Amino acid sequence: MRQLSHHRTLVTGQLSRHYDDRMARWEPGARQRLVRAAVELFTEQGYDATTVSQIADRAGVTKSTFFRHFPDKRELLVAGQETLCRLLADGVADAPESAGPMAAVAAGLERASTFMGPENRELGPQIQAAVAASVELQERDALKTVGLAAALTEALVARGVPEMAAHLSGELGVLAFKRGFARWSEADDDGPGLAHYALAALDELRAASRALD
Amino acid sequence: MRQLSHHRTLVTGQLSRHYDDRMARWEPGARQRLVRAAVELFTEQGYDATTVSQIADRAGVTKSTFFRHFPDKRELLVAGQETLCRLLADGVADAPESAGPMAAVAAGLERASTFMGPENRELGPQIQAAVAASVELQERDALKTVGLAAALTEALVARGVPEMAAHLSGELGVLAFKRGFARWSEADDDGPGLAHYALAALDELRAASRALD
């Protein structure tokens, strides 16, 4: 955990420089520190045994700061879901008019990938492990997946893609994002970003889909 | 609700004849009555406002009978998930060796459809309404969907289907089952069974999938 803490300090430091003037009130980095502290504790002692107080303590904030950022400990692990949905949808909406559903989904994946930095890449496998060990988290994670697919589907329908094709493309997009994320997490530090892996996974899924029957 | 009660009695009566000897201990029909009572109460007064005691009362059983059948009120609405998973997987496993992934999925859908009778068809839309009104139920429902897709995927992988094709086929199968169920619920009483609608939806999804890009 030493290395993680070092990295945390760097990230927090960067944020502080950006948001210096609002620091006292908004506690920059608190949200990120809470997520990291929670993931560490879930990994060390399990999700059920971890309390909000412990998470707040480890993150160096008060319990009321915790509750200003998250309604409960479960929501920590799907932090960013709304932003991801918005980026996916925006990417689809901004794709060229001539783009078919799969090209539009690819644009959504590229846009959403910009949201995921080294912190997400590093925490991803630990979050997945915590989810795998808790039915409660699996439920929340499943609903997040449904939400991402719905965001893509709605954005495609808004482009005029027929509902069934939009639904299918949305599902393919979410599968590609998840597979891409998993490969990105396992890859070298200095390799390409998430977008590269997500788009490659989308291509593979599309090829596999053509070859079904 | 008069008509529903009449129908319930008929179904319970059939069960009683089958399981006459175990009747005292296993309270045949209690499980089904609990599901129906819960759906009625969720529809009338909402999921959050409904207690286990109210559900047990309406079903004419004790609270301890409730807890012999379900761990909590939420699990009522995904009753049968394990059986559905097993039937989907068995259908896939028993498909002819020559069947490709989509034909194997079709066999799984046919097998699973045998589990769904008039009671399910009738309660389906009310259950969907209850789910739509409660985030807690949406989470559980999303996890159920993930479970059904996983059951199909695993059964396909066991047949030697490559993992990505198996995953895609599993997702298509679940989409088809859900769409087929929705159409079956809206269709005439004396029309074809669920299998017909699920297989038609699978064909449509497959056609839409071929036409993507």
Question: Looking at beta carbons, which residues of chain B come within 8 Å of A172?
Answer: 168, 212
3-state SS, one letter per residue, for chain A: CHHHHHHHHHHHHHHHHHCHHHHHHHCCCHHHHHHHHHHHHHHHHCCCCCCHHHHHHHHCCCHHHHHHHCCCCCHHHHCCHHHHHHHHHHHHHHCCCCCCHHHHHHHHHHHHHCCCCHHHHHHHHHHHHHHHCCHHHHHHHHHHHHHHHHHHHHHHHHCCCCHHHHHHHHHHHHHHHHHHHHHHHHCCCCCCCHHHHHHHHHHHHHHHHHCCC
How many residues are given for chain A? 213
Task: Characterize B68-96 residue by residue with b for buried, 16 or more Cβ atoms within 10 angstroms of its Cβ, and e for exposed.
Answer: ebbeebbebbbbebeebbebbbbbbeebe
* Average pLDDT for A120-130: 89
Least confident of A105-109, B9-13, B69-73: B9-13
Residue ranges per domain, chain A? Answer: 2-76, 80-210
Q: Are A100 and B212 within 8 A, CB to CB?
A: yes
B124 touches chain A (CB under 8 A): no
**Alpha-carbon distance B146 to A2, whole Å?**
36
Interface predicted TM-score (ipTM): 0.78
B135 touches chain A (CB under 8 A): yes
Q: Are B205 and A164 within 8 A, CB to CB?
A: yes
Top-confidence residue, A25 or B112: B112
The superfamily (CATH) of domain A2-76 is: Tetracycline Repressor, domain 2 (1.10.357.10)
Contacts of B65 (CB under 8 A, 6+ apart): B27, B30, B34, B56
**Alpha-carbon distance A51 to A38, whole Å?**
9
Interface mutation vs chain A, best among B175, B205, B212, most A CBs within 10 Å: B212
Q: Are A204 and B164 within 8 A, CB to CB?
A: yes
Helix (H) or strand (E) holding B159: none
Amino acid (1-letter code) at residue A207: A
B21 has a pLDDT exceeding 80: no
**Alpha-carbon distance A64 to A34, whole Å?**
12
Q: Are A145 and B143 within 8 A, CB to CB?
A: no
**Alpha-carbon distance B164 to A195, whole Å?**
20
Model confidence band, residue B28 (pLDDT cutoffs 50, 70, 90): low
Same fold, A2-76 and A80-210: yes
Q: Are A213 and B135 within 8 A, CB to CB?
A: no
Supply the pLDDT for residue B20.
39
B175 touches chain A (CB under 8 A): yes
B10 has a pLDDT exceeding 90: no
DSSP state of B30: H
B73 SS3 class: coil
Q: How high does pLDDT run on average in chain B?
A: 86
A138 touches chain B (CB under 8 A): yes
Cβ B178 vs Cβ B198: under 8 Å = no
Model confidence band, residue A213 (pLDDT cutoffs 50, 70, 90): confident
The Cα of A68 is separated from the nearest Cα of chain B by a number of Å equal to 21
Least confident of A22-31, A199-208, B179-188: A22-31
φ and ψ of A122, to 5 deg: -75, -40
Give the closest residue to A177 by CA, choosing from A120, A99, A139, A131.
A120
Q: How far is CA A105 from CA A81, A147, A165, A171, in A?
A: 17, 15, 12, 10
Q: Are A205 and B171 within 8 A, CB to CB?
A: no
CATH number of A80-210: 1.10.357.10
The Cα of A206 is separated from the nearest Cα of chain B by a number of Å equal to 9
Supply the pLDDT for residue A28.
62
Instruction: Note the pLDDT tens digit of each residue in B92-139.
Output: 999 999 999 999 999 999 999 999 988 889 888 999 899 999 988 999
**Alpha-carbon distance B103 to A82, whole Å?**
38
Reduced to 3 DSSP states, what percent helix, strand and coil does chain B have, rounded to the nearest 5? 80, 0, 20
B101 touches chain A (CB under 8 A): yes
A200 touches chain B (CB under 8 A): no
The Cα of B139 is separated from the nearest Cα of chain A by a number of Å equal to 5
The CB density around residue A23, as the number of other CB atoms within 10 Å, is 14
Q: Are A208 and B135 within 8 A, CB to CB?
A: no
Contacts of A209 (CB under 8 A, 6+ apart): A172, B168, B209, B212
Q: Are B208 and A162 within 8 A, CB to CB?
A: yes
* Average pLDDT for A64-80: 90
Question: Looking at beta carbons, which residues of chain B come within 8 Å of A206?
Answer: 212-213
A171 has a pLDDT exceeding 50: yes
Q: Are A168 and B208 within 8 A, CB to CB?
A: yes
Cβ B4 vs Cβ B36: under 8 Å = yes
**Alpha-carbon distance B200 to A209, whole Å?**
19
Top-confidence residue, B45 or A21: B45
Cβ A183 vs Cβ A197: under 8 Å = yes
The second-level CATH assignment, the architecture, of B2-75 is Orthogonal Bundle (1.10)
Interface mutation vs chain A, best among B152, B171, B175, most A CBs within 10 Å: B171
B16 has a pLDDT exceeding 50: no
For B171, the closest of A100, A142, A171 (CB atoms) is A171
Instruction: Note the pLDDT tens digit of each residue in B175-200.
Output: 999 999 999 999 888 889 999 999 99
Supply the pLDDT for residue B14.
38
Q: Are A101 and B142 within 8 A, CB to CB?
A: no
